[in-house]
Each structure stands twice: as C-alpha cells, then as structure tokens.
Amino acid sequence: MSTAIDPVVLTATVGTSSTLIVPVNATRLGLYIFNPSATVPIWICPSQGPQGTGGGNVPAVVNGAGSMLLQPLQGVLWCPPQGPSYTNGVNAICGTPSTPITIWEFYQ
C-alpha cells in the first residue's frame, strides 16, 4: 500500500533582484519549482548557506555561481527518493520584472 501526498501550491513573482520565493520549513518533505514563462529564464538557489558555516543568506544571481537556471517551461524536483528532504528556502531572480513562478510543497 502506498501513501498519496497532495502538494500545497504556492505562487510568487520574481523580479530583477534576488527574492525569497519559499521560506525555510523544517516539516517540508520536498519542492517542485516550475517556470511557467514561455520566454523568461529564472535562476534559483538555496536561501541559506550550509549549516556550520554561519548559514547566512545566499542571493540568487543571474548567471552566477551557486544559482541554477530554470529555462522557460522547465521545472525541478527536490525531494525523496531522488534526494533527501528539502527544508531550506529558495531565492530567485530573473532579467525582467514581475515574472510568475509556481511552487508545489510536499509534506509527509
């Protein structure tokens, strides 16, 4: 028997400066982040550095180290079984103002 989990749907708007689109949540199992734009790429990154290193805020940067590119109409899944639970927050940035992004949060 398997357990079905329903996502919590979040929406955010990304602009030309790094923005927190998903806060840290210790009870979250995983995230699916999708760029619904047909033309605008979005860069995302974890919102905090590694534990034990001070963990300060890590801004998303266009074409920057530590940021991952989400092409138009592309998504990324961060959760088991592909990886561990993802409880960190996420920052995002893009080259145009007011670009929507879709986030699904999964819980156990």
- On the question of a cis peptide bond just before residue 41, with omega within 30 degrees of 0, the verdict is no
Q: 59-103, pLDDT tens digit by residue?
A: 999 998 889 999 999 999 988 877 788 889 999 999 999 999 999
pLDDT tens-place string over residues 39-61: 999 999 999 866 555 557 889 99
Q: HEC states along 49-99?
A: CCCCCCCCECCCCCCCCCCEEECCCCEEEECCCCCCCCCCCEEEEECCCCE
Q: What is the CATH number of the domain that holds 14?
A: 2.60.120.770
Residue 1 maps to a domain: no
Q: Is residue 3 domain-resident? A: no
What's the number of domains the chain is made of?
1
Could you give the count of Cα atoms lying within 13 Å of 55 in the half-sphere of its Cβ? 5
Domain that holds residue 32: 8-107
Per-residue tokens: 52: 């034990």
